[in-house]
Amino acid sequence: MKGLRVVWALAAKDIRIATVSPILYVVSGVFLLLVGLFFWQIVSFATIQSMQMLRFQGAMPQLNLTAMVFQPMFRNMHVILLLVIPLLTMRLLSEERKHKTIELVMTSPVTIAQLVAGKFLAVLVLYLCLIGFTLYMPVLLSVWGSVDWPTVLSGYLGFVLVGAVYLALGLLASSLTENQVSAGVLTFGMNLGLWIVGWAAMTADGSGVQPVLEHLSLTQHFDAFLKGLISAASIVYVVSLAAFGLFLTHRVLDSNRWRS
C-alpha cells in the first residue's frame, strides 16, 4: 500500500505541473477542435446520404450510425493521436534530466519502478480526460438516432489500450534524451513504426508472414475493437506491448543511474 501511495503522489505532482502549463490546454484545444471538425463533417455527410435515400425510397432509412459515423470518426481520432501523444509525453523525463532533478528523485527512497509507474499514471490520467471529452459525440447522436453503445464503448476501450501503448513508448523516448523536441520526434517515429507493421500486413497478402504481421499490427487490433470484437488475445497483446515499453524505460533509467 505504501508503494501505491508513493506512485499516486508522484502522479499527482506531475498532474499538477501539467495543469498549470499552457501546453496541455493548447494540445487539448487543438485535439478537440480537430475532432469536432471531423465529427461535424462526417455527420453532415451521413445526413446528406440519409436524405438521398429518403428521396429515392420514400421512407426514412434505418441508419447504422456506428458504421457511418463512429468507425471513420475513431480512425480519424487515431491519426490525430499520433501527433498529440508526443506532445503529452515529451517532457515527462527529458525535462527532469535536463534540470538534473531526476538524480535527486533516484537517490531518494523512491524506486525506479515507482518513478516510471507514477509518470505513466499521470500522463494516462490526462489522456483519459482528453478522450473522455469526446463522449459528447455518441451522446448527441443518441438523440438523433439509435447508437450501438456496446460497439461504441468497445471502440473507446480500444482507444484506452492503444493510447497506453503510445504513452509507454513516449515515456521510453523521454527517458533517452534531455531534449524535449528529440523525445517528441522519437515518440512519433516509434508510434508510426507500429502503423507500418499494419501496412506491411496488408501488402503481404498471401504470404506466410501475413498472419504474424497481422497479430503484431496494433492497427489491426484497434480495428477489431472498433467493430465490437473484444478478444482476450488483443487485450493481452496490447497490454503486454505497453508493459514492455515501461520495462525498457525502467532499464534505461537503471543504466543511467549506474553510469552516473
**Alpha carbon distance 115, 80 (integer Å):** 28
Residues 6 or more apart whose CB falls under 8 angstroms from that of 63 comprise: 46, 50, 145
Of 64 and 4, the one with more pLDDT: 4
CA distance 79 to 58: 38
- CB burial of 136-167 (b: ≥16 within 10 Å; e: otherwise) equals ebbeebeeeeebbeebbebbbebbebbbbbbb
Q: How far apart are CA 198 and CA 131, in angstroms?
A: 23
What is the tens place of the pLDDT at every residue in 119-145?
Answer: 999 999 999 999 999 998 888 888 777
CA distance 219 to 245: 17
**Does pLDDT of 65 surpass 90?**
no
With beta carbons less than 8 A apart as the criterion, state whether 166 and 226 touch. no
- The model's pLDDT over 49-60, given as tens digits with 9 standing for 90+, comes to 666 665 666 555
Give the per-residue pLDDT at 141. 81
Q: Residue 61 above 60 pLDDT?
A: no
